[in-house]
Amino acid sequence: MKILSFETSCDETAVAVIENGTNEFAYANDSNNMGRSGLRVLHSAIFSQIDIHKEIGGVVPEVAAREHIIKIIPVLDEALTKSGVSLQEIDAIAVSNKPGLISSLLTGTVTASTLALALGKPIIPVNHIHGHIYANWLDRDADEIQFPIVVLTVSGGHNELVLMKEHCSFEVLGETLDDAAGEAFDKVARLIGLGYPGGPAISKAAVNGDKYKFDLPRAWLKKGSLDFSFSGLKSAVARVVAVHKIDTKFQADMSASFQEAVCEVLSEKLLIAARKYNAKEIHLAGGVSANKRLREVVAEKAVSSFVMRYPANIHYCTDNGAMIGAAGYFMFVKNPAVYTDWKNVEASAGIS
């Protein structure tokens, strides 16, 4: 089965073609070449608007919407050409329809619905966060992944702990009460004079920094809470910044100290949830799952108790079309009859 998938919820115009069942990673693990499954990315095309939004230091919704309209057809063309798959060979179309910037989401949903109508193909609306979660099934032997899974999904727009007892079942165990982790990275990077997006800039600067230099707060919230809060940490950084000269040394030390505070809270709560719900696996997903230190800290804590996974390719951590196709694939297989009508696809800024 081949899925064409669209992602335009924020500032990446992304289209991918993925295929199930012919996964080379799956075959490598199965001497009989039988009975294994996997989702292979045939091509994941992305036009990132980062360079455009960099100047302002954040995403400008009107600018993002205009860029999506300009780029969606060239990006679709690239996905089809480089995957070598024609529109007629596509079996179903998946598109992220929520949450996100409404003016950005519309480009993806209108393009996908139009194609579904014109080609008479099924169309699957996908929650962007579920897409991030399913990035962990891409280019990997899907039969090896064992439920229950606790997923830490962390990016610029969301920050959740999710329990998956089976496919397409998402129980939110905890979420951020204010800033998402990626948002905190972006805001702190701006405070200390590093570029946008803040996550990659901070993790790079942190390599040369002293993580013990600044004693920043960790918001554990009330005992047993699986929720998160990062706004206090950001304010603490702002107070230090107000009385310090910002030079390269300061940027490095603050980046390392801040990153450590975020990773400590994220990893600790992930492990508490994994133990509480007897998870077999713990997964990292979303833009912040690209963070090396987060992966290290979680791996240290998870050692021998849980299988730990993060997306097989770093490009599947941040927004991409392939992850939307992966979630769409499992939704479709579970309930194909639901996804026949292109009119059912509505964009929504919020979660519902």
Task: Give the residues lining the site for Zn ion (CB under 5 A).
Answer: 155, 319
Please, what is the minimum distance in Å from the beta carbon of residue 25 to Zn ion? 24
Nearer to ligand KG4 (CB atom), residue 139 or residue 186:
186
- 286, 158 Cβ separation under 8 angstroms: yes
96 binds, among Zn ion, ligand KG4, none (CB under 5 to 8 A by kind): none
Please, what is the minimum distance in Å from the beta carbon of residue 16 to ligand KG4? 15
203 binds, among Zn ion, ligand KG4, none (CB under 5 to 8 A by kind): ligand KG4
How far is it, in rounded angstroms, from Cα 35 to Cα 200? 39
User: Counting beta carbons within 10 angstroms of the beta carbon of residue 239, is it exposed (0 to 12), middle (13 to 18) or buried (19 or more)?
Assistant: exposed
185 binds, among ligand KG4, Zn ion, none (CB under 5 to 8 A by kind): ligand KG4
- CA-nearest of 204, 158, 201 to 181 is 158
Nearer to ligand KG4 (CB atom), residue 137 or residue 339:
137
Whole-Å CA distances, 42 to 25, 81, 133, 148: 13, 10, 19, 29
- CA-nearest of 269, 43, 293 to 176 is 269
Nearer to ligand KG4 (CB atom), residue 26 or residue 294:
294
311 binds, among Zn ion, ligand KG4, none (CB under 5 to 8 A by kind): none
Please, what is the minimum distance in Å from the beta carbon of residue 12 to ligand KG4? 7
Angle between helices 181-191 and 198-206 (to 10 degrees): 70
Please, what is the minimum distance in Å from the beta carbon of residue 57 to ligand KG4? 12
198 binds, among ligand KG4, Zn ion, none (CB under 5 to 8 A by kind): ligand KG4
Binding site for ligand KG4 (CB under 6 A): 10, 155-157, 182-183, 185-186, 197-200, 203, 286-288, 290-291, 318-319
Measure CA of the first residue to CA of the last residue in the chain; give whole Å. 28
Nearer to ligand KG4 (CB atom), residue 185 or residue 342:
185
122 binds, among Zn ion, ligand KG4, none (CB under 5 to 8 A by kind): none
**CA count, 13 A, side-chain hemisphere, 343:** 0
**CA count, 13 A, side-chain hemisphere, 162:** 23
345: Cβ contacts below 8 Å, ≥ 6 apart: 95, 97, 109, 112, 113, 116, 123, 125
Please, what is the minimum distance in Å from the beta carbon of residue 157 to Zn ion? 6
Q: Which two tokens stand for residue 328?
A: 């769409």
Please, what is the minimum distance in Å from the beta carbon of residue 53 to ligand KG4? 11
